Amino acid sequence: MSGNDLNIAADDEFNEQLGIYEDADGRPDLTVEDATEVHVGIEWLVRIRKLRLLLPLRFGIYTDPGHRIHAVSENPDLRRLFPEADDRIHFAFGTGFVFKNGKFDLAVDFAEGYSQIFGSWALTLP
């Protein structure tokens, strides 16, 4: 965001002498903080010999900081239009099947107010 104008015209006041709108407080109206995501996971590989199947079991947890531009101005309209996002902690689970000519993966990702299911199929040609 370096070099961008973080002022919004919504809280500007009209300067009748100059005939232009000016930012009354001279401070940025919007900001976004730097944040660090942390990801941790583990995978177990289970071999099912009778079915000639290799089954990966995965579990992970990661932080998801609020990656959103938000208002720092005291203006209530700007605070409503540009709210600060909540940080979330995600829990992810997954499994898959590895076959002779391919693999299938399935993952589920949960967080407060959020859930997603991912699937993929890869086919290996001889």
Q: What is the mean pLDDT of residues 91-117?
A: 91
The secondary structure of residue 39, as a DSSP letter, is E
Confidence (pTM): 0.67
**What ranges do the domains of the chain cover?**
27-123
Residue 2 predicted with pLDDT over 70 = no
- What H or E segment, with its residue span, contains residue 15? strand 13-15
Structure tokens at 2: 């370096």
29-63 pLDDT tens trace: 888 888 899 999 999 999 888 987 788 899 999 99
Which residues are CB-contacts of 32 (< 8 A; sequence separation ≥ 6)?
A: 1, 67, 68, 69, 70
Residue 55: the pLDDT is 86
